[in-house]
Structure 1
C-alpha cells in the first residue's frame, strides 16, 4: 500500500464526521452538546489511562531498569514542557486557530471566534496526540500497512461528529493538523526504514497517555492544561530512554 493512504482516509473521516456534526449541531440543545463533550472527555480519560500504563511495559523496564520508567516520563514532561513553553507552542496553536477562523469563517464576533479556536485546538490535540497517531503513521511510512490508521480514522470520524456538534467549524479545520502531523510522521517512517525499539515506543506511548489526560481535563472543564506546550515530551521521552540505555 502506498504510504500516506492511511492519513488520507483519516482526513476524509474527520471531514465527513465534522460535516455530519455540523448538520446535527443546529438541532441539538446546548445541554445535549455539553453532555456529549463530557462523554468524550471521560472516554479520552479512559484511553489516556490505558496508554499511560505503558510505563509498566516489560521491555521498557528491562532496558532502563525497574525504577527508571517513571523518572523518564517525568523528565520527558518537565523538559518537554519547558521547551514547549519557551517556544510558546500553545499560543502559536491558538493563533493558528484564530487565523484559520478569520480565513475560513470570517469575523463573527469574539464568542464565535473562541468557539472556533477551542474546537480547532481540542480536536487537533485529540486527533494527533494519541499513540495510534505515532505508531500508525510510522507503520504506514514503513510500508507495513495502514490498519492502525484505518482504526484511528473510524474513532476520529465518530469523535468529529460529537466535536463539530459542540464546537462547529473548528473541528473541520483540525484536518489540516492531521495532514501536517501524520504526514510528517509518515515521512519519518519512510526515512527510518525501521521502527523504534519496543522500549522507546513504550516511553512515547506512556508520555502520550499523560498528554491525553490533559486533553480530558480540558474537555471536562476541570483545568485548561496547555497540552500543546507539552508536546515536545513525545520527542524527549525516547531520547531519555536512549541516554539511560547508553549509560547502563
Structure 2
C-alpha cells in the first residue's frame, strides 16, 4: 500500500495531538529528554540506511555536488523564509489555533525526511523512514499541542497530502525504469538519504547545525550518475 506510511504519519500526529491536549503540563525537562530520545533513534536509522550503499564514493560525490547546488540555490533559506511568511500571514496574535496549525505544519513538512521517506514508499513500498518520522511527529505533536493547542492536530492534513502526492508520483515514475536499475537506485537513494537523516539526528540532538535541506539536490545527482553508469 503506497500511502501506508503517509497515513500512519498523519494518524500519529492526530493521536499525539489528542494526547497532548490532555497532558497540558509537560515540563521543559521532559520535552528536552524526549526530543533527545527521538534524536538518538533518528541517528540509528540514518546509520542503518547509509550502509546500504554499494559504492560510497558515488554517494559522497553526489552529496557534495548536491550541497554545492543546494547552497547556490539557497534551498534551506528559501524553505525557512517560506515558513516565516506563512507564520506571519496565518499565526496572528491571539489565535492559538492558527499558530499551532502553522507551527506544527512547518516542523513536520520542512525537511528532507518526509521527501526521502515518501520516495521510498512510492518506489519500493518501504515505509521504514516514514514510520520513524511518524514516531517523531507523534511525540512532537504531544509537546506542541500541550503548548500551542489543538490547531496542531489539523497539521496532519497537509502532512498526509504532501507525502502522499510525492509517493504517488514516485510510484508512477518507477513503471518506466528497468527493475535492475530500480533496485540499484533504491539502495543508493536509501544510503544518501541515510546520511541526510543522520544529519537531522545530529541537529535534533543539538550537537551541530547542518543545513540538511541543501543536500536534497544530491538525490537527483545520484540518480543521474547511477543511471549513466548502469547503461554504460
Q: Same fold (TM over 0.5)?
A: yes
Within the candidate set 114, 130, 140, 1:163 is matched to: 140
Change (3 A) 1:161 1:122: closer
Contact 1:80–1:232, Cα closer than 8 Å, also in 2? yes
Superposition RMSD on alpha carbons, in Å? 3.2
**Shift in Å, 1:88:** 1.1
Within the candidate set 152, 158, 167, 1:176 is matched to: 158
Change (3 A) 1:72 1:171: farther
Q: Mind listing any 5+ residue stretches in structure 2 that lack a counterpart?
A: none
The answer as to 2:221 corresponding to 1:221 is no
The whole-number CA distance in structure 2 between the counterparts of 1:24 and 1:79 is 47
Within the candidate set 99, 102, 109, 2:88 is matched to: 102
Change (3 A) 1:122 1:189: closer
Deviations 1:46-85 (A, max 9, x none): 00010001124xxxxxxxxxxxx12101111111111111
**Shift in Å, 1:44:** 0.1
TM norm structure 1:
0.73
Name 1:59's counterpart in structure 2: none
Change (3 A) 1:118 1:177: closer
The alignment partner of 2:32 has SS state of helix
Change (3 A) 1:117 1:210: farther
TM norm structure 2:
0.77
Change (3 A) 1:27 1:52: same
Q: Mind listing any 5+ residue stretches in structure 1 that lack a counterpart?
A: 57-68, 140-145
The answer as to 2:172 corresponding to 1:190 is yes
**Shift in Å, 1:161:** 2.6
Contact 1:128–1:182, Cα closer than 8 Å, also in 2? no
Count matched residues: 218
Name 2:184's counterpart in structure 1: 199
Change (3 A) 1:7 1:35: closer
**Shift in Å, 1:157:** 3.6
The alignment partner of 1:55 has SS state of coil
The whole-number CA distance in structure 1 between the counterparts of 2:12 and 2:87 is 17
Name 2:221's counterpart in structure 1: 236
